Amino acid sequence: MLPVDFHSHTLFSKCGLHTIIEMLTEAKARGLAALAITDHGPKLESCTPSTFWDRLLDPVVGIRLLKGMECNVISDEGDIDFPQKFLKYADIILLGLHPHLPRGISAPKNTEFLLRALEKNPFVDIVTHPEDEAYPVEFDTLAEYAAGHGIALECNNSKILNKRVSSERLLALLDACKRAGCRIAVNSDAHAIGEVGLDESVRPLIEHAGIAPELVVNRTAESAFAFVEERRGKKVTV
């Protein structure tokens, strides 16, 4: 079980099944110190309301709410769909390639597309599910960029749990992170309370890859909160 989970979805994402309170309550019951609510950005017709950002303050006693969003790349120029007005409230910002984009694009082109977005939006903290076979990327190129810019690449438990990604592909990503010294974030990508905080599907693969513990940003609650604070300086309105 993760001490801090940086990736989860609620009813505000079309793919989520539960409320913010339900997700936080389950996370607390499982012993997590914090849960990031990271519903999809508006490009996927999802988005947490403004009250989530500017009014909701740790609504479940005993667990910290981390406010975030899983954003989408929305243009060839590197634009993403994070509303800039909420940046000052954000704890963690994720970015991934999602089904609004065409499939069948080559790994070099997808990598170029993603790196352009990261360059234009330096407040992004974690790249989500880069191991996704539907949107292949060049692992070494991405890991080297992430290592040089303090970004973490995600090791997504849900993709392995639900057999949407092969173990071999995740191991290839982990090997690239190891070569580059790139940090990883181990996340559940929970869409239901039963998945909150889970890492059981990916933990054996991380161990098999020989990833040094210090490369895992959320290996402990303390390291997770330190990562959030380290990255906070990037969250300035541009």
* pLDDT tens digits, one per residue of 100-109: 888 889 999 9
Identify the band that residue 99 occupies on the pLDDT scale cut at 50, 70 and 90.
confident
Identify the band that residue 237 occupies on the pLDDT scale cut at 50, 70 and 90.
low
The predicted model scores a pTM of 0.96
The pairing of strands 92-96 and 184-187 is unpaired
* pLDDT tens digits, one per residue of 40-81: 999 988 788 999 999 999 999 999 999 999 999 999 999 999
How many CA atoms lie within 13 Å of 110's alpha carbon, on the beta-carbon side?
22
Residue 80's φ and ψ, nearest 5 degrees, are -125, 170
For domain 4-232, the CATH architecture is Alpha-Beta Barrel (3.20)
Alpha-carbon distance of 109 to 28, in angstroms, equals 41
Instruction: Kindly list the domain boundaries of the chain, sorted by start residue.
Output: 4-232
Alpha-carbon distance of 180 to 171, in angstroms, equals 14
* pLDDT tens digits, one per residue of 113-154: 999 999 999 999 999 999 999 999 999 999 999 999 999 999
